A and B are shown apart, each in its own frame.
Chain A
Amino acid sequence: MRIETIRAAGDKPAHIRHDDLISAKGVSVVMARQLILRNIDLSVPKGSFVSLIGPSGCGKSTLLKVLAGLVQPTQGSVSIAGLAPIEAARKRMIGLVFQDANLLPWKNAVDNASLLLGIADKSLSRSDLRARGQEMLELVGLGDSAHKRPNELSGGMRQRVAIARALALDPAVLLMDEPFGALDAITRDSMGQSLLEIWQRTGKTIVLVTHSIDEAIHLSRHVHVLGIKPGRITESLDIALPYPRDLSVTEDPEFVRLVVQLRTMLRSSHQPGGAS
Protein backbone atom coordinates (compact mmCIF):
# COMPACT_ATOMS: atom_id res chain seq x y z
CA MET A 1 0.00 0.00 0.00
CA ARG A 2 2.79 2.29 1.00
CA ILE A 3 4.51 1.63 -2.27
CA GLU A 4 1.41 2.73 -4.20
CA THR A 5 1.35 6.06 -2.37
CA ILE A 6 4.99 6.56 -3.18
CA ARG A 7 4.35 6.01 -6.84
CA ALA A 8 1.46 8.46 -6.66
CA ALA A 9 3.87 11.12 -5.41
CA GLY A 10 5.03 11.25 -9.04
CA ASP A 11 6.97 14.49 -9.31
CA LYS A 12 10.48 13.14 -8.75
CA PRO A 13 13.66 14.74 -9.98
CA ALA A 14 14.38 13.87 -13.60
CA HIS A 15 17.52 11.82 -12.98
CA ILE A 16 15.62 9.13 -11.07
CA ARG A 17 14.55 6.24 -13.18
CA HIS A 18 10.97 5.35 -12.49
CA ASP A 19 11.66 1.91 -11.14
CA ASP A 20 14.41 3.13 -8.77
CA LEU A 21 13.38 3.44 -5.17
CA ILE A 22 16.78 4.57 -3.97
CA SER A 23 19.13 6.70 -5.98
CA ALA A 24 22.50 7.99 -4.82
CA LYS A 25 24.32 10.44 -7.10
CA GLY A 26 27.98 11.34 -6.68
CA VAL A 27 27.97 10.67 -2.94
CA SER A 28 31.23 11.43 -1.17
CA VAL A 29 31.74 11.37 2.59
CA VAL A 30 34.64 12.97 4.42
CA MET A 31 35.01 12.22 8.11
CA ALA A 32 37.86 13.45 10.30
CA ARG A 33 39.66 14.72 7.17
CA GLN A 34 39.53 11.29 5.61
CA LEU A 35 37.77 10.44 2.40
CA ILE A 36 35.54 7.54 3.41
CA LEU A 37 33.40 7.30 0.29
CA ARG A 38 34.20 8.70 -3.14
CA ASN A 39 31.69 9.53 -5.80
CA ILE A 40 29.21 6.73 -5.22
CA ASP A 41 26.46 6.27 -7.79
CA LEU A 42 23.97 3.68 -6.72
CA SER A 43 20.48 2.93 -7.81
CA VAL A 44 18.30 0.38 -6.14
CA PRO A 45 15.26 -0.71 -8.17
CA LYS A 46 12.01 -0.92 -6.29
CA GLY A 47 11.38 -4.38 -4.88
CA SER A 48 14.88 -5.63 -5.52
CA PHE A 49 17.39 -7.22 -3.19
CA VAL A 50 20.77 -5.50 -3.38
CA SER A 51 23.92 -6.43 -1.48
CA LEU A 52 26.91 -4.24 -0.78
CA ILE A 53 30.06 -6.28 -0.23
CA GLY A 54 33.62 -5.28 0.34
CA PRO A 55 36.63 -5.58 2.64
CA SER A 56 36.59 -4.04 6.12
CA GLY A 57 37.12 -0.32 6.01
CA CYS A 58 35.61 0.12 2.55
CA GLY A 59 32.84 2.28 3.95
CA LYS A 60 29.95 -0.04 3.14
CA SER A 61 28.39 0.59 6.53
CA THR A 62 28.86 4.32 6.10
CA LEU A 63 27.12 4.10 2.73
CA LEU A 64 24.20 2.35 4.37
CA LYS A 65 24.07 5.09 7.01
CA VAL A 66 24.02 7.70 4.26
CA LEU A 67 21.06 5.91 2.68
CA ALA A 68 19.38 5.82 6.10
CA GLY A 69 19.93 9.54 6.68
CA LEU A 70 22.13 8.87 9.71
CA VAL A 71 25.22 10.32 7.98
CA GLN A 72 25.07 13.40 5.77
CA PRO A 73 27.06 13.09 2.55
CA THR A 74 29.74 15.74 2.15
CA GLN A 75 28.91 15.86 -1.54
CA GLY A 76 26.24 14.39 -3.71
CA SER A 77 22.67 13.52 -2.94
CA VAL A 78 20.49 10.59 -2.03
CA SER A 79 16.84 10.28 -2.71
CA ILE A 80 14.42 7.64 -1.54
CA ALA A 81 11.29 7.79 -3.66
CA GLY A 82 12.11 11.44 -4.30
CA LEU A 83 12.63 12.29 -0.64
CA ALA A 84 15.78 13.06 1.33
CA PRO A 85 16.63 10.08 3.56
CA ILE A 86 15.77 11.91 6.79
CA GLU A 87 12.32 12.81 5.47
CA ALA A 88 11.85 9.28 4.23
CA ALA A 89 12.78 7.92 7.66
CA ARG A 90 10.29 10.25 9.34
CA LYS A 91 7.63 8.91 6.99
CA ARG A 92 8.45 5.39 8.18
CA MET A 93 9.84 4.43 4.77
CA ILE A 94 13.13 3.08 6.15
CA GLY A 95 13.53 0.00 8.31
CA LEU A 96 16.94 -0.48 9.90
CA VAL A 97 18.58 -3.67 11.11
CA PHE A 98 22.10 -3.71 12.57
CA GLN A 99 24.50 -6.49 13.47
CA ASP A 100 23.48 -6.24 17.10
CA ALA A 101 19.75 -6.77 17.60
CA ASN A 102 19.74 -4.03 20.26
CA LEU A 103 16.53 -5.20 21.86
CA LEU A 104 15.41 -3.65 25.12
CA PRO A 105 16.12 -6.35 27.74
CA TRP A 106 13.21 -5.25 29.94
CA LYS A 107 10.61 -5.65 27.20
CA ASN A 108 9.30 -8.89 25.75
CA ALA A 109 9.56 -9.78 22.08
CA VAL A 110 6.22 -8.32 21.04
CA ASP A 111 6.83 -5.00 22.79
CA ASN A 112 10.31 -4.84 21.29
CA ALA A 113 8.87 -5.52 17.85
CA SER A 114 6.43 -2.61 18.16
CA LEU A 115 8.82 -0.18 19.89
CA LEU A 116 9.74 1.97 16.90
CA LEU A 117 6.24 1.91 15.47
CA GLY A 118 4.91 3.24 18.78
CA ILE A 119 7.31 6.16 18.62
CA ALA A 120 6.71 6.87 14.94
CA ASP A 121 2.92 6.75 15.22
CA LYS A 122 1.61 8.16 18.48
CA SER A 123 -2.00 7.58 17.48
CA LEU A 124 -1.71 3.81 17.90
CA SER A 125 -3.05 2.32 21.12
CA ARG A 126 -1.18 -0.21 23.17
CA SER A 127 -3.36 -3.03 21.87
CA ASP A 128 -2.90 -1.85 18.25
CA LEU A 129 0.86 -1.95 18.83
CA ARG A 130 0.71 -5.40 20.40
CA ALA A 131 -1.38 -6.72 17.51
CA ARG A 132 1.04 -5.28 14.97
CA GLY A 133 4.03 -6.60 16.91
CA GLN A 134 2.46 -10.06 17.07
CA GLU A 135 1.72 -9.99 13.35
CA MET A 136 5.34 -9.12 12.58
CA LEU A 137 6.68 -11.79 14.95
CA GLU A 138 4.58 -14.34 13.09
CA LEU A 139 6.01 -13.07 9.80
CA VAL A 140 9.55 -13.71 11.05
CA GLY A 141 8.60 -17.11 12.51
CA LEU A 142 8.49 -16.14 16.19
CA GLY A 143 4.73 -16.08 16.70
CA ASP A 144 4.85 -18.25 19.80
CA SER A 145 7.73 -16.39 21.50
CA ALA A 146 5.90 -13.08 21.89
CA HIS A 147 6.15 -13.00 25.66
CA LYS A 148 9.76 -14.03 25.96
CA ARG A 149 12.34 -11.51 27.03
CA PRO A 150 15.53 -11.12 24.96
CA ASN A 151 17.59 -13.09 27.48
CA GLU A 152 15.31 -16.07 26.82
CA LEU A 153 15.92 -15.89 23.06
CA SER A 154 18.85 -17.19 21.03
CA GLY A 155 21.00 -14.83 18.97
CA GLY A 156 19.17 -15.75 15.79
CA MET A 157 15.78 -15.27 17.43
CA ARG A 158 16.82 -11.87 18.75
CA GLN A 159 17.82 -10.84 15.27
CA ARG A 160 14.43 -12.03 13.99
CA VAL A 161 12.79 -9.71 16.53
CA ALA A 162 15.00 -6.88 15.25
CA ILE A 163 13.78 -7.60 11.72
CA ALA A 164 10.19 -7.70 12.97
CA ARG A 165 10.75 -4.33 14.67
CA ALA A 166 11.93 -2.82 11.37
CA LEU A 167 9.09 -4.43 9.39
CA ALA A 168 6.48 -3.18 11.88
CA LEU A 169 7.01 0.31 10.43
CA ASP A 170 5.88 -1.08 7.06
CA PRO A 171 8.90 0.56 5.43
CA ALA A 172 9.44 0.70 1.69
CA VAL A 173 13.05 -0.29 2.14
CA LEU A 174 14.89 -2.47 4.62
CA LEU A 175 18.48 -1.35 5.20
CA MET A 176 20.51 -4.10 6.88
CA ASP A 177 24.06 -3.74 8.15
CA GLU A 178 25.63 -7.21 8.51
CA PRO A 179 22.49 -8.45 10.27
CA PHE A 180 23.73 -12.03 10.48
CA GLY A 181 27.38 -11.21 11.07
CA ALA A 182 27.38 -12.35 14.70
CA LEU A 183 25.55 -15.63 14.11
CA ASP A 184 26.94 -19.11 13.60
CA ALA A 185 27.03 -20.57 10.08
CA ILE A 186 23.94 -22.75 10.36
CA THR A 187 21.77 -20.08 11.98
CA ARG A 188 23.08 -17.69 9.38
CA ASP A 189 21.91 -19.89 6.52
CA SER A 190 18.44 -20.31 7.95
CA MET A 191 18.18 -16.57 8.69
CA GLY A 192 19.14 -15.81 5.10
CA GLN A 193 16.52 -18.20 3.85
CA SER A 194 13.88 -16.63 6.11
CA LEU A 195 14.84 -13.18 4.91
CA LEU A 196 14.35 -14.30 1.31
CA GLU A 197 10.90 -15.60 2.16
CA ILE A 198 9.98 -12.39 3.99
CA TRP A 199 11.23 -10.39 1.03
CA GLN A 200 9.13 -12.35 -1.42
CA ARG A 201 6.05 -12.22 0.76
CA THR A 202 6.22 -8.48 1.53
CA GLY A 203 7.78 -7.13 -1.65
CA LYS A 204 10.07 -4.82 0.34
CA THR A 205 13.20 -3.40 -1.22
CA ILE A 206 16.23 -4.68 0.66
CA VAL A 207 19.76 -3.31 0.82
CA LEU A 208 22.08 -5.67 2.66
CA VAL A 209 25.62 -4.93 3.77
CA THR A 210 27.55 -8.16 4.13
CA HIS A 211 31.06 -9.53 4.00
CA SER A 212 29.90 -13.01 3.06
CA ILE A 213 30.24 -13.91 -0.60
CA ASP A 214 27.86 -16.87 -0.30
CA GLU A 215 25.25 -14.80 1.47
CA ALA A 216 25.41 -12.03 -1.13
CA ILE A 217 24.94 -14.47 -4.02
CA HIS A 218 22.39 -16.67 -2.26
CA LEU A 219 20.12 -13.73 -1.42
CA SER A 220 20.53 -10.83 -3.77
CA ARG A 221 19.56 -9.86 -7.28
CA HIS A 222 22.37 -7.31 -7.59
CA VAL A 223 25.72 -7.21 -5.82
CA HIS A 224 27.87 -4.09 -5.66
CA VAL A 225 31.51 -4.54 -4.76
CA LEU A 226 33.16 -1.74 -2.81
CA GLY A 227 36.89 -1.09 -2.86
CA ILE A 228 39.02 0.54 -0.19
CA LYS A 229 40.96 3.80 0.12
CA PRO A 230 38.76 5.50 -0.67
CA GLY A 231 35.51 3.54 -0.50
CA ARG A 232 33.97 3.38 -3.95
CA ILE A 233 31.92 0.98 -6.02
CA THR A 234 34.43 -0.93 -8.11
CA GLU A 235 32.18 -3.46 -9.75
CA SER A 236 28.62 -4.64 -9.91
CA LEU A 237 27.29 -8.08 -10.53
CA ASP A 238 23.81 -9.24 -11.45
CA ILE A 239 22.83 -12.57 -9.96
CA ALA A 240 20.70 -14.25 -12.58
CA LEU A 241 19.77 -17.26 -10.48
CA PRO A 242 15.99 -17.63 -10.49
CA TYR A 243 13.86 -17.03 -7.38
CA PRO A 244 12.59 -18.59 -5.23
CA ARG A 245 15.98 -19.77 -4.12
CA ASP A 246 16.72 -22.13 -1.31
CA LEU A 247 19.98 -23.42 0.09
CA SER A 248 20.27 -25.99 -2.72
CA VAL A 249 21.10 -23.04 -4.97
CA THR A 250 24.56 -23.10 -3.43
CA GLU A 251 25.22 -26.35 -5.30
CA ASP A 252 24.19 -24.89 -8.64
CA PRO A 253 27.16 -24.64 -11.10
CA GLU A 254 26.10 -21.06 -11.85
CA PHE A 255 26.28 -20.26 -8.11
CA VAL A 256 29.79 -21.70 -7.95
CA ARG A 257 30.81 -19.69 -11.02
CA LEU A 258 29.43 -16.51 -9.44
CA VAL A 259 31.29 -17.17 -6.19
CA VAL A 260 34.56 -17.42 -8.11
CA GLN A 261 33.76 -14.28 -10.09
CA LEU A 262 32.80 -12.30 -6.98
CA ARG A 263 35.88 -13.51 -5.12
CA THR A 264 38.08 -12.30 -7.95
CA MET A 265 36.32 -8.92 -7.90
CA LEU A 266 36.78 -8.67 -4.12
CA ARG A 267 40.47 -9.48 -4.41
CA SER A 268 41.04 -6.61 -6.79
CA SER A 269 38.90 -4.35 -4.58
CA HIS A 270 41.58 -4.67 -1.88
CA GLN A 271 43.91 -2.57 -4.03
CA PRO A 272 43.73 1.08 -3.01
CA GLY A 273 42.35 3.18 -5.85
CA GLY A 274 44.07 6.35 -7.05
CA ALA A 275 42.43 9.65 -7.84
CA SER A 276 40.01 9.68 -10.72
Chain B
Amino acid sequence: MSDQPITDLSEPRLASSWSAATGSWLPAVILLLVTIMAWEAAVRIFAISAFIIPAPSEIAKSLVAQWGTLMQATLVTAGEILFGFLVSVVVGIAIALLIVRFDWLGRALYPLVVLFQNVPKVALAPIFILWFGYGLAPKIGLILVIAFFPVTLSMLAGMQSVDRSLLSLMNSVGASQTQILFRIRVPHSLPNLMAGTKIAATLSVIGAIVGEFAGASDGLGYVIQFASTQLDTALVFAALLLVSVLGIAFYYAAEILERIVVPWAPKFSQS
Protein backbone atom coordinates (compact mmCIF):
# COMPACT_ATOMS: atom_id res chain seq x y z
CA MET B 1 0.00 0.00 0.00
CA SER B 2 2.59 2.48 1.09
CA ASP B 3 5.78 2.87 -0.85
CA GLN B 4 7.65 4.35 2.10
CA PRO B 5 11.07 2.75 2.47
CA ILE B 6 11.08 0.09 5.18
CA THR B 7 14.28 1.50 6.65
CA ASP B 8 12.20 4.29 8.19
CA LEU B 9 10.95 1.76 10.75
CA SER B 10 14.40 1.15 12.14
CA GLU B 11 15.26 4.78 12.66
CA PRO B 12 15.70 5.62 16.32
CA ARG B 13 13.07 7.83 17.87
CA LEU B 14 14.70 10.67 19.68
CA ALA B 15 11.66 11.66 21.72
CA SER B 16 12.09 12.64 25.35
CA SER B 17 10.81 10.21 27.96
CA TRP B 18 7.96 12.56 28.89
CA SER B 19 6.65 12.86 25.37
CA ALA B 20 7.22 9.12 24.93
CA ALA B 21 5.03 8.47 27.97
CA THR B 22 2.27 10.83 26.86
CA GLY B 23 2.65 9.45 23.38
CA SER B 24 1.82 5.95 24.62
CA TRP B 25 -1.06 7.08 26.86
CA LEU B 26 -2.52 9.79 24.72
CA PRO B 27 -4.41 7.66 22.14
CA ALA B 28 -6.12 5.67 24.91
CA VAL B 29 -7.10 8.81 26.82
CA ILE B 30 -8.46 10.45 23.67
CA LEU B 31 -10.49 7.36 22.77
CA LEU B 32 -11.89 7.22 26.30
CA LEU B 33 -12.94 10.88 26.25
CA VAL B 34 -14.48 10.52 22.80
CA THR B 35 -16.41 7.44 23.94
CA ILE B 36 -17.74 9.23 27.02
CA MET B 37 -18.81 12.22 24.97
CA ALA B 38 -20.48 10.05 22.32
CA TRP B 39 -22.24 8.13 25.10
CA GLU B 40 -23.52 11.36 26.70
CA ALA B 41 -24.63 12.70 23.34
CA ALA B 42 -26.38 9.46 22.33
CA VAL B 43 -28.31 9.23 25.60
CA ARG B 44 -29.48 12.83 25.23
CA ILE B 45 -30.28 12.73 21.49
CA PHE B 46 -32.18 9.44 21.57
CA ALA B 47 -33.65 10.19 25.01
CA ILE B 48 -32.66 6.79 26.38
CA SER B 49 -34.26 6.03 29.71
CA ALA B 50 -31.85 6.46 32.64
CA PHE B 51 -32.63 3.01 34.04
CA ILE B 52 -31.55 1.39 30.74
CA ILE B 53 -28.37 3.37 30.13
CA PRO B 54 -27.66 6.36 32.33
CA ALA B 55 -25.62 9.19 30.86
CA PRO B 56 -22.06 9.61 32.18
CA SER B 57 -23.16 12.85 33.83
CA GLU B 58 -25.92 10.94 35.69
CA ILE B 59 -23.37 8.37 36.85
CA ALA B 60 -21.12 11.16 38.09
CA LYS B 61 -24.03 12.77 39.93
CA SER B 62 -24.93 9.48 41.55
CA LEU B 63 -21.27 8.97 42.50
CA VAL B 64 -21.23 12.31 44.27
CA ALA B 65 -24.65 11.95 45.90
CA GLN B 66 -23.94 8.46 47.27
CA TRP B 67 -20.25 9.09 47.95
CA GLY B 68 -20.41 8.14 51.64
CA THR B 69 -22.25 4.87 51.06
CA LEU B 70 -20.08 3.99 48.10
CA MET B 71 -16.81 4.65 49.93
CA GLN B 72 -17.96 2.54 52.86
CA ALA B 73 -18.88 -0.28 50.45
CA THR B 74 -15.56 0.12 48.61
CA LEU B 75 -13.68 -0.22 51.86
CA VAL B 76 -15.55 -3.43 52.75
CA THR B 77 -14.94 -4.94 49.31
CA ALA B 78 -11.29 -3.85 49.30
CA GLY B 79 -10.82 -5.53 52.68
CA GLU B 80 -12.32 -8.77 51.36
CA ILE B 81 -10.15 -8.66 48.25
CA LEU B 82 -6.95 -7.97 50.17
CA PHE B 83 -7.59 -10.62 52.82
CA GLY B 84 -8.77 -13.19 50.26
CA PHE B 85 -5.84 -12.44 47.98
CA LEU B 86 -3.29 -12.87 50.77
CA VAL B 87 -4.87 -16.17 51.88
CA SER B 88 -4.87 -17.38 48.25
CA VAL B 89 -1.20 -16.53 47.79
CA VAL B 90 -0.16 -18.20 51.05
CA VAL B 91 -2.22 -21.34 50.38
CA GLY B 92 -1.15 -21.41 46.72
CA ILE B 93 2.53 -21.25 47.67
CA ALA B 94 2.11 -23.86 50.40
CA ILE B 95 0.47 -26.33 48.01
CA ALA B 96 3.20 -25.78 45.41
CA LEU B 97 5.95 -26.33 47.99
CA LEU B 98 4.31 -29.53 49.28
CA ILE B 99 3.91 -30.89 45.76
CA VAL B 100 7.57 -30.26 44.89
CA ARG B 101 9.13 -31.27 48.20
CA PHE B 102 7.21 -34.48 48.84
CA ASP B 103 7.07 -36.61 45.76
CA TRP B 104 4.26 -38.92 46.94
CA LEU B 105 2.18 -35.97 48.11
CA GLY B 106 2.72 -34.30 44.75
CA ARG B 107 1.50 -37.36 42.91
CA ALA B 108 -1.58 -37.45 45.16
CA LEU B 109 -2.30 -33.73 45.24
CA TYR B 110 -1.51 -32.45 41.77
CA PRO B 111 -4.17 -34.40 39.82
CA LEU B 112 -6.79 -33.41 42.42
CA VAL B 113 -5.82 -29.75 42.21
CA VAL B 114 -6.13 -29.85 38.42
CA LEU B 115 -9.43 -31.76 38.66
CA PHE B 116 -10.77 -29.17 41.10
CA GLN B 117 -9.89 -26.49 38.57
CA ASN B 118 -12.71 -27.83 36.39
CA VAL B 119 -15.35 -27.18 39.04
CA PRO B 120 -17.21 -23.96 38.18
CA LYS B 121 -16.22 -22.22 41.37
CA VAL B 122 -18.69 -19.39 41.06
CA ALA B 123 -21.35 -22.05 41.62
CA LEU B 124 -19.80 -22.78 45.01
CA ALA B 125 -20.90 -19.37 46.30
CA PRO B 126 -24.34 -20.47 47.59
CA ILE B 127 -22.77 -23.47 49.33
CA PHE B 128 -20.21 -21.26 51.04
CA ILE B 129 -23.02 -18.94 52.20
CA LEU B 130 -24.80 -22.01 53.57
CA TRP B 131 -21.68 -23.14 55.42
CA PHE B 132 -20.15 -19.88 56.55
CA GLY B 133 -23.06 -17.42 56.73
CA TYR B 134 -23.16 -13.89 55.39
CA GLY B 135 -19.97 -12.52 56.88
CA LEU B 136 -16.39 -12.30 55.66
CA ALA B 137 -15.68 -16.06 55.68
CA PRO B 138 -17.63 -17.14 52.57
CA LYS B 139 -16.03 -14.33 50.51
CA ILE B 140 -12.54 -15.33 51.61
CA GLY B 141 -13.39 -18.97 50.85
CA LEU B 142 -14.64 -18.11 47.40
CA ILE B 143 -11.64 -15.91 46.58
CA LEU B 144 -9.36 -18.70 47.80
CA VAL B 145 -10.83 -21.39 45.55
CA ILE B 146 -10.82 -19.04 42.57
CA ALA B 147 -7.40 -17.44 43.03
CA PHE B 148 -5.03 -20.02 44.56
CA PHE B 149 -4.66 -22.04 41.37
CA PRO B 150 -2.66 -19.59 39.22
CA VAL B 151 -0.36 -19.06 42.20
CA THR B 152 0.25 -22.80 42.66
CA LEU B 153 0.59 -23.51 38.98
CA SER B 154 2.98 -20.64 38.20
CA MET B 155 5.18 -21.40 41.18
CA LEU B 156 5.29 -25.10 40.25
CA ALA B 157 6.29 -24.22 36.70
CA GLY B 158 9.06 -21.98 38.02
CA MET B 159 10.38 -24.53 40.49
CA GLN B 160 10.38 -27.32 37.93
CA SER B 161 12.14 -25.35 35.22
CA VAL B 162 15.50 -25.21 36.98
CA ASP B 163 18.28 -26.15 34.56
CA ARG B 164 19.46 -29.74 34.89
CA SER B 165 23.13 -28.77 34.82
CA LEU B 166 22.58 -26.50 37.79
CA LEU B 167 20.99 -29.40 39.65
CA SER B 168 23.98 -31.53 38.65
CA LEU B 169 26.30 -28.93 40.14
CA MET B 170 24.31 -28.88 43.37
CA ASN B 171 24.16 -32.68 43.56
CA SER B 172 27.87 -33.01 42.92
CA VAL B 173 28.67 -31.15 46.13
CA GLY B 174 26.08 -33.16 48.05
CA ALA B 175 23.29 -30.59 48.37
CA SER B 176 20.15 -31.93 50.08
CA GLN B 177 16.71 -31.73 48.48
CA THR B 178 15.72 -29.10 51.03
CA GLN B 179 18.78 -27.01 50.19
CA ILE B 180 18.03 -27.28 46.48
CA LEU B 181 14.41 -26.34 47.16
CA PHE B 182 15.04 -23.21 49.20
CA ARG B 183 18.30 -22.00 47.70
CA ILE B 184 17.57 -22.71 44.05
CA ARG B 185 14.01 -23.72 43.21
CA VAL B 186 12.09 -21.19 45.28
CA PRO B 187 14.06 -18.08 44.27
CA HIS B 188 14.14 -19.35 40.69
CA SER B 189 10.34 -19.59 40.74
CA LEU B 190 9.76 -16.02 41.97
CA PRO B 191 9.35 -14.39 38.54
CA ASN B 192 6.75 -17.03 37.61
CA LEU B 193 5.14 -16.75 41.03
CA MET B 194 4.76 -12.99 40.66
CA ALA B 195 3.09 -13.47 37.27
CA GLY B 196 0.66 -15.89 38.90
CA THR B 197 0.13 -13.45 41.75
CA LYS B 198 -0.96 -10.75 39.33
CA ILE B 199 -3.57 -13.11 37.89
CA ALA B 200 -4.67 -13.97 41.43
CA ALA B 201 -5.08 -10.26 42.21
CA THR B 202 -7.50 -9.89 39.31
CA LEU B 203 -9.38 -13.08 40.20
CA SER B 204 -9.67 -11.93 43.83
CA VAL B 205 -11.77 -8.97 42.72
CA ILE B 206 -14.09 -11.31 40.83
CA GLY B 207 -14.29 -13.65 43.83
CA ALA B 208 -15.24 -10.84 46.20
CA ILE B 209 -17.98 -9.47 43.94
CA VAL B 210 -19.44 -12.91 43.24
CA GLY B 211 -19.37 -13.64 46.98
CA GLU B 212 -21.26 -10.44 47.66
CA PHE B 213 -23.79 -11.21 44.93
CA ALA B 214 -24.52 -14.55 46.53
CA GLY B 215 -25.25 -13.07 49.89
CA ALA B 216 -24.07 -9.95 51.64
CA SER B 217 -25.32 -6.89 53.43
CA ASP B 218 -22.45 -4.66 52.45
CA GLY B 219 -19.78 -4.09 49.80
CA LEU B 220 -19.84 -2.94 46.18
CA GLY B 221 -21.34 -6.22 44.95
CA TYR B 222 -24.20 -5.73 47.37
CA VAL B 223 -24.63 -2.11 46.21
CA ILE B 224 -24.77 -3.25 42.57
CA GLN B 225 -27.39 -5.86 43.32
CA PHE B 226 -29.44 -3.61 45.58
CA ALA B 227 -29.34 -0.68 43.16
CA SER B 228 -30.39 -2.85 40.22
CA THR B 229 -33.48 -4.07 42.12
CA GLN B 230 -34.28 -0.37 42.69
CA LEU B 231 -33.76 0.33 38.96
CA ASP B 232 -31.10 2.86 40.04
CA THR B 233 -28.88 2.02 37.08
CA ALA B 234 -26.74 5.12 37.56
CA LEU B 235 -25.74 3.82 40.99
CA VAL B 236 -25.01 0.38 39.48
CA PHE B 237 -22.62 2.02 37.04
CA ALA B 238 -21.06 4.16 39.76
CA ALA B 239 -20.37 1.05 41.85
CA LEU B 240 -19.10 -0.74 38.74
CA LEU B 241 -16.67 2.10 38.15
CA LEU B 242 -15.34 1.75 41.69
CA VAL B 243 -14.99 -2.04 41.30
CA SER B 244 -12.90 -1.41 38.18
CA VAL B 245 -10.76 1.12 40.02
CA LEU B 246 -10.21 -1.45 42.79
CA GLY B 247 -9.25 -4.08 40.23
CA ILE B 248 -6.76 -1.76 38.57
CA ALA B 249 -5.34 -0.70 41.94
CA PHE B 250 -4.79 -4.30 43.03
CA TYR B 251 -3.24 -5.25 39.72
CA TYR B 252 -0.74 -2.40 39.88
CA ALA B 253 -0.01 -3.08 43.53
CA ALA B 254 0.89 -6.64 42.49
CA GLU B 255 3.04 -5.28 39.69
CA ILE B 256 4.92 -2.94 42.05
CA LEU B 257 5.39 -5.88 44.40
CA GLU B 258 6.85 -7.82 41.48
CA ARG B 259 9.45 -5.15 40.79
CA ILE B 260 10.46 -5.14 44.44
CA VAL B 261 10.61 -8.92 44.84
CA VAL B 262 12.24 -9.87 41.54
CA PRO B 263 14.28 -6.92 40.29
CA TRP B 264 16.39 -9.34 38.25
CA ALA B 265 13.45 -10.73 36.29
CA PRO B 266 13.17 -9.81 32.62
CA LYS B 267 10.61 -7.08 32.02
CA PHE B 268 7.97 -7.93 29.48
CA SER B 269 5.91 -4.76 29.58
CA GLN B 270 6.86 -1.31 28.34
CA SER B 271 10.02 -2.40 26.59
Contact = CB atoms under 8 A, between A and B. Distances in A.
A, B: real partners: yes
Interface of A: 65, 68-70, 89-90, 92, 94, 96, 98, 100, 102, 104-106, 115-116, 119-120, 149-151, 165, 169
Nearest to A116: B173
B165 A105 contact: no
Contacts of A116: 169-170, 172-173
Contact of A106 (B172, B173, B179, B187): B187
Q: Which of B174, B184, B262 has the most CB of A within 10 A?
A: B174
Nearest to B180: A119
A104 B184 contact: yes
Interface of B: 163, 165-166, 168-175, 179, 183-184, 187-188, 190, 262, 264-265
Contacts of A149: 264
B268 to A, nearest CB: 15
Contact of B166 (A90, A102, A106): A102
A169 B163 CA distance: 21
Given A149-B264, A151-B264, A102 B165 contact: yes
Contacts of A68: 168, 172
B170 A119 contact: yes
A160 B223 CA distance: 62
Given A102-B163, A102-B166, A104-B187, A70 B171 contact: yes
Contact of B172 (A96, A102, A104, A150): A96
B263 to A, nearest CB: 8
Given A89-B173, A119-B179, A70 B264 contact: no
Q: Which 8 pairs, one residue from A and one from B, show the smallest C-beta to C-beta distance?
A: A120-B173, A102-B166, A98-B165, A89-B172, A105-B264, A119-B175, A116-B173, A90-B174
Contact of A70 (B166, B172, B183, B265): B172
B264 A119 contact: no
30 contacts: A65-B168, A68-B168, A70-B168, A70-B171, A89-B172, A89-B173, A89-B174, A90-B173, A90-B174, A94-B172, A96-B169, A98-B169, A102-B163, A102-B166, A104-B184, A104-B187, A104-B188, A105-B264, A106-B187, A106-B262, A115-B183, A116-B173, A119-B170, A119-B173, A119-B174, A119-B175, A119-B179, A149-B264, A150-B264, A165-B169
A178 to B, nearest CB: 11
A120 B184 contact: no
Given A105-B264, A106-B264, A100 B172 contact: no
Nearest to A92: B173
A100 B165 contact: yes
Given A90-B174, A96-B168, A116-B169, 14 more contacts: A68-B172, A69-B172, A70-B171, A89-B173, A92-B173, A98-B165, A102-B165, A104-B188, A105-B264, A116-B172, A119-B175, A149-B264, A151-B264, A165-B169
A65 B190 CA distance: 30
Q: Which of B163, B165, B184 has the most CB of A within 10 A?
A: B165
Contacts of B187: 104, 106
Nearest to A68: B172
A100 B168 CA distance: 12
Contacts of A90: 173-174
A106 B191 CA distance: 11
A128 to B, nearest CB: 16
A120 B171 CA distance: 10
B250 to A, nearest CB: 25
Contacts of A65: 168
B181 to A, nearest CB: 13
B239 to A, nearest CB: 42
Nearest to B176: A119
Contacts of B262: 106
Nearest to B171: A70
Contacts of A102: 163, 165-166, 169
A264 B91 CA distance: 62
A150 to B, nearest CB: 8
A151 B267 CA distance: 12
Contacts of B168: 65, 68, 70, 96, 98
B69 to A, nearest CB: 46
Nearest to B172: A89
